[in-house]
Structure formats: structure tokens, C-alpha cells
Amino acid sequence: MSYEAFALQQATGIIYSMSACILKAYKYRLYPNTEQQEFFAKSFGCARFVWNKMLHDKIEHYEKTKTTLKNTPAQYKKEFEWLKEVGSLALANVQLDLQKAFQSFFKSSFGFPKFKRKGIKDSYTTNNQKGTVAVTSRSIKLPKIGLIKAKIDREINGLIKSATVSKTPAGRYFVSVLVETIAQPLPKTNSSVGIDLGITDFIVLSDKTEVVNPKFLAKYEKKLAREQKILAKRREVAKAANRKLSESRNYQKQRLKVAKVYEKIANCRKNFLHKTSFNLIKNHDVIVIEDLNVKGMVKNRRLAKAISDSSWSEFATMLTYKADWYGKQLVKIDRWFPSSKTCSGCGHVLGRGELTLAIRQWQCPSCNAVLDRDYNASINILNEGLRYLLSITKTLGARELAQSICITSDGVQRTPSSLCIT
């Protein structure tokens, strides 16, 4: 829900049900046979080759002529006939992805497109054209390959747009089916909450709820170190025997073991983040968080590993799109707002250097209240977020806002605008 829609709701006292048309991905585990694995390997390789070839030619052409080269995958099929063995849509999507990468580079702070390597995020995308992509109870149908055995744990409700097949470093195959569907809003709870992100406690809420940080990397760190140590020994043995690492079976077996530990950590972390974010969206109408500069914070060598293990950025991303899907409000306050240094009782703000990271409780010199650092910060974050929403309500005004929004909850069509609440 946008800030303007929420302001209208607060000003008029009317709660509107907003059904949004969204793109949602369903991810399933694939169990391809030997022939299907060979086709996937060809598709991954061709998609990677076309990306690298197009990127190389664009760079080379620009260095010579200072102009942009408009190349396509079709022009490479005459020289490299083996590109015809895979789906044409897979190569066409590579061209679209490369165009998006250059657009992101020129319009935002994303880096320049990089060349791809084998075994690093191997994937390809194909589109659904008249039922070429379909999901059954035990399999998934894909173009040029037919039915593939899969574990279908969720039913798809919507129109299938595309499918992305990927292979993890641990050797597992997955397909992500992109679906256009309708997101139904969750029931209103009339609850607002502020969230303070932390390391010891993953989040502390303004209602005194604390969610302990599971620290999955620290949990599996010893096992990971043990497997990596064995992998290093296998590497030395292969080098001593003058064998390539790709030809050393013992090295490849151990590499898969290391990859599986990393995948276990990532899966546990993502599962925790999904459950925590959905519970917050389900139980609260307004959620306020800080807009943290995580990229700058990980430059602190002492906290970098703990911050990366917490995945604050991914958590904020999940809250953002889930709030948009389910008709809830997410507010991000300024990262420079002194939430920890401000007394939630009297508003006194501590000076620079008075509150170090080691201090978890402090006493307000103005009102003498003893404050828990994280809980006090969550209250201040909530108050700041609500103050911001209130300022929007006063600025826009209920009458002007109502005139600019197409309200169809009463069955009457009003003045259309870019925001339509149904």
C-alpha cells in the first residue's frame, strides 16, 4: 500500500480492500534423467556463451567506434550452429537480460555487466507460449524437452508467464515458474509496530517482542571449516600429481560436500527470513524500519561476518514486496535518525560519543528513565514512522486526496488517477 493510500484511509476512516495483480514465482525441485541433464547443460552453456559473446562484441565495438552495437543471438547461429540445439527463447531472454544489465548500469549505481563463468549461477529462462510451460501433479513441462519429474509442493494459481531452470553448485536442479496472479489482502489488525534490527537479537519490536538471531553461519562454521580443510588437501594432492582439478574425482566429490554446506546455510537463513517477515505482515498493518546502509556497515571488519549472516537487506526486501502484495504499509525512516540515542519518554538526545555499541542500557539524564537500547530504539522508530505518515495526511488533505483517487469500493466510478483503490 502506498503512503497516499494509507493517508486517505487514516483521514476518512474507511478501509479499502485492494486486490493487486502481481508477478509471483513458484520454485520447485527438479529430478531430470541423464538425457534431460545433458539438455540442461547445453542450454546453460549456450546461454552463457551468448551472454559473453554479445558482451565482448559490444565492448570491442564501443572501443573502436564509440557507438553502441545492436547485436542479437540470431546472428551468431550461422557461425556457431550448435546454438540451434537449444530453445530460441532461452537465447532471446539472454539478450533481454543483457539489455537490462546495461540499463541498470547507466541509470543506477549497479556495476558494469560482467562475464559469466561455468558453474556460477548456471541458468536459462524460457517463456510460456500456448501451454509450452505447464505444471502437473508430479512433473513440469518445458519446451524442447517435455515432462520432467519434479516435487510439486504448492499449486499454481494464475497465468504462467515464464520458467527459469537453474543448477546449484551442489548439483541440484530447480525451476522457478513466474506466474501472473491476484494477491488478496490480509485482514486488518489495526496494529502498528516499529522494528530495530540487531545482531544478538535479530529484531526487537516496539511491543517488547524479541526474535533471537539464529546465526546459521556460526552454527555450521565448524562443519564448513572441516570440509574446506579436506578440500584444500585434495587440491594439493591433485596439483602434486599434475592433474587438473576438473579431472580429479576426489576433489570434485569434496567440492560438492562444501557446496552442500553453503546451500544448507542459505536455505535455513531464507526459510527463517520468509517466516519472520510473513508473521510481521500478517499481524501488523503498519511496519516501520530503518533504511540502513548495510553496504557501508559491512566495511567494519569486526561486524562484517555477523551483519552478513543476519541478511538485513534481504529481510527488508521481503517486507517490502509482501507488504505491497497483502495490502499492508511499510515505512522506512531516515538512516540518520538517532533512534538509539533519543529517549522515548522525554525526547532527550544524547551527544556524540555518549552511547557506544557496548552500552545496552542507559539512563536518560533529563527524566532519569532507564532505557533498554534496542527496545527504546524500536519505539522511536515507530513514532518517527507514524509522524511521517501523519505529515502526509496533513499535507495532502482528505478532500484533495479523495478527489485524486479512483474509489470503486462503493461501486461508483470516480475521477481516475494513477492510484486506484478497489
Catalytic residue list: 196, 290, 374
Contacts of 277 (CB under 8 A, 6+ apart): 315, 318, 319, 322
Cell of 231: 578440500
- CA–CA distances in Å: residue 67 to residues 54, 60, 95, 110, 279: 15, 10, 18, 21, 51
Please say whether the beta carbons of 143 and 149 come within 8 A: no
Q: Tally helices (H) and strands (E) across the chain.
A: 11, 16
Please say whether the beta carbons of 168 and 259 come within 8 A: yes
Residues forming beta bridges with residue 182, ordered by sequence position: 21
- Orientation angle between helical segments 249-283 and 221-240, nearest 10 degrees: 160
Phi-psi domain of 279 (left: phi exceeds 0; alpha: psi -120 through 50; beta: other): alpha
- DSSP string over 111-141: PPP----TTSSEEEEEE-SSSSSEE-SSEEE
Please say whether the beta carbons of 71 and 58 come within 8 A: yes
Cell of 217: 553461519
Closest by CA to 321, choosing from 372, 281, 358, is: 281
